[in-house]
Amino acid sequence: MSRLVVLAGGVGGAKLALGCQALCMGDDLTVVGNVGDDFHHCGLRICPDLDTLMYTLAGVVNTETGWGRADETWTCLQTLADLGGEDWFQLGDRDLAVHLLRTAELAKGRTLTEVTGSLCAALDLPTRVLPVTDASVATRVISDQGELAFQEYFVRERAEPIVKSIRFAGADESALSPEVAGLLASATTEAILIAPSNPWLSIDPMLAVGGMREALRNAPAPVVAISPIVNGQAIKGPTAKIMRELSLDVSPLSVARHYRDVLDGFILDSLDQQLAADVSAEGLAVLACQTIMNTLADKKTLAQAARAFAADLRVHAKGK
């Protein structure tokens, strides 16, 4: 039985996931993670968003950065730099162990879902983390500097290139993992939340997976998204910059319209209360509440509000 399902990207999504975990203690929570950021680096399979989710939910994340591990050391990366190797991707010594173990287990023929499950168990996670798919779906950024792999754009180039469009290589041949497809179709799933992650870089690669949009439209549970845009700004990261580059208003309304076909409800920040009527006019139920998550209490409060909102929607017929 899995009552709450959260679709999440990296740092921003992990905050909501942590709030849900605090709420669901002893209950069932599944976090479905993005794999569009995944890449191969020095022979290793690296899954930045899954790692951020796991580390955050296991309580071993570096809380200053929101990614990577606490008490990290950098001996390997420093040595790699000394040798003239590529050191733009932050490979901490502890973090490396996860990349090594994942790579070794995948080489044995296990699926990413299975391997992620083993890593979650090794990290004593109370929450299940699932990759959205076992296939390769790679976010590619078409920019003024040409087409870049996601990590090249995001980390190496610090998200500075101007985004013209985004594509998801492999999406057409991909399919939801059976575990994710089962959860979305399950009558015991009470709510499906789309975290306030970057819609274009973190959530779209999940929506691009074969069968995902249909699964959300057909889900018995209400689907509720939380706006990552508050008061004309992104909570973090390059979301607002990308929206401007894609000629979109930096507004929750743009996000609501972007997700429209898969949503039942939309949560925006109290600071954007005045936009509730416009979102409602799109045919979506709307909730305005505090969405900025600074403390664990903030995260839990937002998770609770989202779950209650979804429960209300569940009572009424789904209107998608």
Check: CB of residue 319 under 8 Å from CB of residue 239.
no
Alpha carbon 38 to its chain centroid, in Å, reads: 12
Given the complex with its own copies, which of 98 and 248 has the nearer CB atom?
98
Minimum distance of its own copies from residue 73's CB (angstroms): 5
Given the complex with its own copies, which of 76 and 142 has the nearer CB atom?
76
- Cα separation, 163 vs 159, whole angstroms: 9
Minimum distance of its own copies from residue 194's CB (angstroms): 30
Minimum distance of its own copies from residue 6's CB (angstroms): 24
Helix (H) or strand (E) holding 191: strand 191-194
Minimum distance of its own copies from residue 245's CB (angstroms): 31
Check: CB of residue 38 under 8 Å from CB of residue 138.
yes
Given the complex with its own copies, which of 118 and 145 has the nearer CB atom?
118
| Contacts for 147-150: CB closer than 8 Å, 24+ residues apart | 149/39, 150/36, 150/37, 150/39, 150/201
Check: CB of residue 2 under 8 Å from CB of residue 30.
yes
Given the complex with its own copies, which of 12 and 92 has the nearer CB atom?
92
Given the complex with its own copies, which of 9 and 92 has the nearer CB atom?
92
Minimum distance of its own copies from residue 66's CB (angstroms): 20
Contacts with its own copies by CB under 8 A lie at 41-45, 73, 75-77, 79-80, 82-86, 91, 93-94, 96-98, 100-101, 103-104, 107, 118-119, 122-123
